[in-house]
Structure 1
């Protein structure tokens, strides 16, 4: 274990970028997957002032003089991890670097992810080295409402500069991970009752000025924002019964709900499609036990076939190194029925859309952020390597991973 930790720490130092300065840059690839149309043979992406200014075949896309040109066999948009706790959960797996869960109360929607996010965490560097440029991260499973999530770029050196959406969603959890038979809630009905009580209370008129403790006011404002559909309620639910409870809550209060996990979502295809929800699907290789004992390698393919919007994620792991890599998860999904193009979409444009940023990241489109991942082969092949990462037009990694 000590040797593994030391190796990860050394890797973090090796791949962590120095202070990244803005630059004009171009990427030329034998195959360019823009995720905004067909792949381009011998394609070019030009980035100026952090934004994409040109995309197309090299024969018809001019590269400005004096611009550094990175080359690759294959290039894709920077990868988007649709659900993780990286930056709050650290690779040391010790109390001092585990801020993704506070167990003092079962419902704490006012806990902000940005207040616990550590951009210098080794796992942020780890994910970036594998082409992940955007992460939807924050409070994790273990409480009925564990806190808020945020969307961050993986290059910045302060939480404020990393965050592109400081409050993305409110993280709720149903099922075994959020049950406490001693302190409560001890049953699934109690979990839903706590959520229903919080939302019902927020429907009441605002209390008189000065009434109630400050923490209660913060909680209430969050729930009012959920009711007003200013922020989505992301509910981690893997059992079919818990997914259905989440859908009932959505219907009852008319709120926007995103299903996180969804191990048994393949059993509820019609219900999910009718509800119009997005699924942040569990990592393909997640361990199949407990609430995930009925998870399937083919769920991603079934959701795609049914037209249910979904994205892949790295999720949360309770052991070192605390995270998975979405690139590998997409590869496994492609090996189990999901078309390769759809697997790549699930960690780029579909993931960006799922977290509300499809207009900014996830595809190589003029006007979007200059985020590019470079490879020496098919990104979904195990033998391929990431050879470079560009974030907001900055070279964030030149390592071969």
Structure 2
């Protein structure tokens, strides 16, 4: 317990940014081909100054040098509930899904996020430096997600984006948490009705600034008008097609599909709709709505040219949070090319989340989030040895 407390408290006292030179036998920038014998220079402001081959990059005097077999960008978990579904798995640390009502779009994940939960540090220890976290699947509209860095001890320090997407669900999974709406048809009808009501509310607010504020309608209006993407969880093929059909009914809506266990059955429809997919964890338990999940879906999405990333998702019990690095490794073992597997949890994730200007690749001007390995990141025999976040060395020692 004392060790755990020290780990958590250490997140509050990060070392000052230092000028770093990170040397790698292989550097995966994700912005181009890997660099053999590469160097990443990190400035005192916590951003990347230069990336290139060691032969062409001079390391200035005074820079601290770190060395590793492999260097990658910090990993991006594109869909998580970490910080809301805590390690203890007891009432006091479980805030991932409010069961008061199936439509609560005004809830904000940032208001419940616990940066000191030990699971946040656990992810950081495996190089997951950025997390898109929020409400768990199970409600028609569960609330607004948030993006945080995992190296900080308060939400104010960790925050990258406070309100990112609206977490939503369609399919039979809602019935496990709420008595209503009940059937699939009723769920879609209730959501459709709420979206149209939100559009009408938005029209009145545009016409009359004194029109009474309704936080739930305000949040759904943002979805219906495309100001905030809809992160819609669906697994069965028929539910995925319903999601696509609903999105066509609201042409301004920006849709991101989450879960998607049977995406391999509707690849043509997904490609035509140009909808990005935040795919279920590769090692997800195959049961319930996920009964037909396969470990090959990542490969199939990649081959079909459909933009996708991987998620740790929501775990009601152990392990409480998964690690996207492990999920990518298994996806690679089941046919996804290794470079595509790494891209799925770095640049592809950042692009889908709209944060690729800061994270996801090692390029000049971006946040200096780096992970140093003693071997191939996708091999179980390799270890994360150093993690750098915003130019600060936040973890050292191979594990």
TM-score class, shorter? over 0.9
Q: Equivalent of 1:257, from 230, 255, 258?
A: 255
Residue 190 of structure 1 aligns to a residue whose secondary structure is helix
Is the 1:232–1:258 contact (alpha carbons within 8 Å) kept by the matching residues of 2?
A: yes
1:160 is displaced (CA, Å) by: 1.6
**Whole-angstrom distance in 1 between the partners of 2:276 and 2:263:** 11
Is the 2:267–2:301 contact (alpha carbons within 8 Å) kept by the matching residues of 1?
A: yes
Q: Equivalent of 1:244, from 216, 221, 241?
A: 241
Alignment pair present for 1:80 and 2:76 = yes
Alignment pair present for 1:165 and 2:161 = yes
Q: Deviations over 1:246-275 (max 9, x none)?
A: 101110001111000010000000000011
Alignment pair present for 1:100 and 2:96 = yes
**Whole-angstrom distance in 2 between the partners of 1:391 and 1:302:** 33
Alignment pair present for 1:125 and 2:121 = yes
Aligned to 1:154: 150
**Whole-angstrom distance in 1 between the partners of 2:227 and 2:61:** 45
Is the 2:9–2:153 contact (alpha carbons within 8 Å) kept by the matching residues of 1?
A: no
Alignment of 1:257-276 (within 5 A): 257-276=255-274
Q: Equivalent of 2:231, from 229, 234, 239?
A: 234
Is the 1:375–1:388 contact (alpha carbons within 8 Å) kept by the matching residues of 2?
A: yes
State TM-score, norm by structure 1. Answer: 0.94
**Whole-angstrom distance in 2 between the partners of 1:7 and 1:322:** 21
Is the 2:21–2:64 contact (alpha carbons within 8 Å) kept by the matching residues of 1?
A: yes
Alignment of 1:62-81 (within 5 A): 62-81=58-77
1:16 is displaced (CA, Å) by: 4.6
Is the 1:16–1:397 contact (alpha carbons within 8 Å) kept by the matching residues of 2?
A: no
Q: Equivalent of 1:116, from 93, 100, 112?
A: 112
CA RMSD of aligned residues (A): 1.8
Q: Deviations over 1:35-68 (max 9, x none)?
A: 0111111110011111111000111112121111
Aligned to 1:56: 52
* More displaced stretch, 232-241 vs 177-186: 177-186
Q: Which runs of 5+ in 1 are unaligned?
A: 1-5
Compared CA separation, residues 277 and 69, structure 1 to 2 (3 A): same
Residue 222 of structure 1 aligns to a residue whose secondary structure is helix
Aligned to 2:302: 304
Aligned to 2:87: 91
Compared CA separation, residues 14 and 113, structure 1 to 2 (3 A): closer
Compared CA separation, residues 109 and 353, structure 1 to 2 (3 A): same
Is the 2:281–2:327 contact (alpha carbons within 8 Å) kept by the matching residues of 1?
A: yes
Q: Equivalent of 2:23, from 28, 33, 43?
A: 28
Aligned to 2:280: 282
Compared CA separation, residues 322 and 15, structure 1 to 2 (3 A): farther
Is the 1:79–1:132 contact (alpha carbons within 8 Å) kept by the matching residues of 2?
A: yes
Q: Deviations over 1:130-172 (max 9, x none)?
A: 0001110011112111111011111122112211110110000
1:15 is displaced (CA, Å) by: 7.5
Aligned to 1:3: none
Alignment pair present for 1:191 and 2:168 = no
Residue 86 of structure 2 aligns to a residue whose secondary structure is coil
Is the 1:8–1:122 contact (alpha carbons within 8 Å) kept by the matching residues of 2?
A: no
**Whole-angstrom distance in 1 between the partners of 2:6 and 2:238:** 42
Q: Deviations over 1:319-357 (max 9, x none)?
A: 133110111101100000100000000011011111111
Q: Deviations over 1:10-42 (max 9, x none)?
A: 794598573332222121111101101111111
**Whole-angstrom distance in 2 between the partners of 1:184 and 1:79:** 38
Aligned structure 1 segments of 4 or more residues deviating by more than 4 angstroms: 10-17, 207-212
Question: How many residues in Structure 1 have an aligned counterpart in Structure 2?
Answer: 393
